[in-house]
Structure 1
Amino acid sequence: MTYMTKTGLKLGMSAAAAICGLCALPALAQDESANPAQAETVQDRAGEADVPLIIPQPVYEPKWSADYATDLLAFIAAIDSEGLKPSDYRPEQLTAAIAAGEGAALDAEFVRAFTWLAEDLRDGRTPMKARVEWYVNDPDADTTPISMLLAKVKESGDVAGTLRSLEPAHPDYAALRDMLAKTPKAEISKRRLIMANMDRWRWLKRDLGKDYLHTNVPEYKVRYVVNKQQIVNYRTVVGKPGRNATPQLAEMVQGVIFNPTWTVPQSIVKGEGLGARVLANPTWARSQGYEATKGANGYVSVVQKPGPTNALGYMKLDMPNRHAIFLHDTPSRHLFRNADRALSHGCIRTENAMELAMVIALVQGDVPLDRSKQIVKSLEYTRVPVKRELPVYITYFTMASDVDGKMTNFRDIYSRDKPVLDALAAARPQRPEKIKLEDNVVTEERKL
């Protein structure tokens, strides 16, 4: 008996079987009417012995050994030192996978537990919905994705070290961790507050940078950090509780504006009647530096010229953001003597703002102090660009180091602690690797 190949070559049964056994059996077997669910064979119709078809099956090679998984389990057991709960990471599932032996199940459990830990240490445990008025784009998920971290573990063999590398670099995080270790388990409220504020540091960029401005809203202070050292700090007036509460932001200072003009928001022009008052009282308007324009459609715009009565004072930081929040001077300097300084419409009024502006212009923009003084005296609108990057962080910590470096409790002026505390007490929600900002739209114009 012979078989005809596709090329027309006639082969005897033995030769055909031999070749099929080496390379081409699946194609020949498909011509048979045998049940494909059964073991396929090529049988000589003259009675020769069956030649079994052997299809090699891939052999699963474990990617994560029991040693890696055991190290991860030990890290989970001690994670309460970082203000997180071991139960959130389902250690019992990893323990069971270790007991079952190396293979696909252990690999899956290792990656799951490692991912959850890395996400929380890198991005924060608190879900977005509990971060009230938080509008910070944290880049850490992009710079250190889970795939990169797993590769780092493979390369170094160090599970714990890789996870610890995600901890915030700011000294306050380590100080809070030390405080948590020293706080007795019985002091539940204090421990929970420490944990909440540790997590707030994870919401931010891991390393804030070398030079930056940092204002902690409940502290009513802003500090200017250069080469990671605080060089000056000033009192602030922040937003009133309610719709004018100051949001949490991370923006970039692009310049210092001396003698700014103020385009008055419509929430004041129309909502508070300033437009009608300016139009009806031109003498008073001129004394306050207001100029009003009324369009054919009845729309009224009001601009306040530079000068001693300008609501922005003599300085404004140019830090564009969709919330219209910035640091600025104020003619109402007596308010800095108040203990409770949550008095503005959202923006951050800064004591000795001119000094801060001149120092920033000098350090970040290479503008001599004498030149800045001349600009101020001119009473002309002048924008000095920042040549070197200067981030500004507007944060909300109710337990943090004060400007003197002492760990302090600050009053929760906006009642933002409770949502964080409740979220940390609840079961950990599953989420994508990268936390994305909700598309929050500011419906009320921020004022001063």
Structure 2
Amino acid sequence: MSDVELVLRSTRVITPEGTRPASVAVSGGKITAVLPHGAGAAPGVRVEDFGDDVLLPGLVDTHVHVNDPGRTAWEGFWTATRAAAAGGITTLLDMPLNSLPPTTTVDHLAVKRDVARPKAHVDVGFWGGAIPANVKDLRPLYDAGVFGFKCFLSPSGVEEFPELDQEQLAASLAEVAGFGGLMIVHAEDPHHLASAPQRPGPKYADFLASRPRDAENTAIGNLIAQAKRLNARVHVLHLSSSDALPLIAAAKREGVRISVESCPHFLTLTAEEVPDGATEFKCCPPIREAANQGALWQGLADGTIDCVVSDHSPCTTDLKTPDFASAWGGISSLQLGLPAIWTEARRRGHGIEDVVRWMSTAPAELVGLRRKGAIEAGRDADFAVLAPEETFTVDPVELHHRNQVTAYAGKTLHGVVRSTWLRGVRIAHEGELAEPVGRLLERTD
């Protein structure tokens, strides 16, 4: 043990084998051993003892809209990664749209990386984008290290990132399947959206009616059929409609290569509590009713839903107009996902180990980040320290993302993130952030 540089100790360390008292030995930014509690404290070795606070692997958030460069008034790598670090997230993957340029070519990816490199407080990877005109760019992007490709099946909200129709989806999916890549899909059917009632104004009920569950259900059904036909690997983004769960479960049983995520806002907020005009709650697909939420939790419990990620999609305050039809759709929650999910999970009888599986282990596995997502020897020394019994009330001015707009304002949540560690370096502590030490990640096969 003479090469150990740091030991992190807690009576509650979450490991793949369960939660137990342990000391975690760190050297060279890696976990070298998980030892009995009290071990590893050789002369000259720094020891951090967290008492009864929980030591868990740093969270992996594979769905973040950083919007940098081009729309940095909405967000940016500096502010987004600070918010991530403050919330216990040590790795995030940036979505290919809402930045200018979008990540749809290798040259655009290079621009994005150059902007992110000096600003990253956590490790950052990138998704590529699949749009109608860039099938030829997908393999070069994959070879350049993106983790997969995002597409929309309905309008994205920004003109530089158009949606795919079914024929275009088939072409892109065939290309991606040909080299073993992953397609991640915003699955809402445009025909169902177009035929739904469209009533502008402040009433949340009108907005909810404009994004019916059938739009998700139909799009997911079509996606499953395409994935089955092409033996393609697909991932459903931000599942909102619980009606789609039986369809997804059946596809998994048949061997279709499909995985699914949901998000804190679908699992902790309900349509019944959204005030009219409160467009900080607007997202697409929308926050649905409490009964729907209960079914989503059941989907998490039985494994139909694989992981929970933020879909952090911020904007400037002025774009959150009181009109649900015209307001920008997106929930800002990067810093709050862990306590939000833990608050509801504990109420429903789940343990913190479940939250770690949904928010760290499973997202890391989804994108092949084998060094992330668990506290065991050989992994990166990425940790969050959580006081799970403590509570706090969300004050937007204390959030680190660029625009302090959040649907969680005023909510009291369980779980205070004491500190966050990236490769053995403490990057956040009691609300204070260190200088950026994050790295840019590439997919490795």
TM-score by length of 2: 0.22
Q: Which has the larger radius of gyration?
A: 1
Give the helix-richer structure, 1 or 2.
1
Q: Which has the higher contact order (CA 8 A, sep 6+)?
A: 2
More strand as a share of residues: 2
Normalising by structure 1, we get a TM-score of 0.21
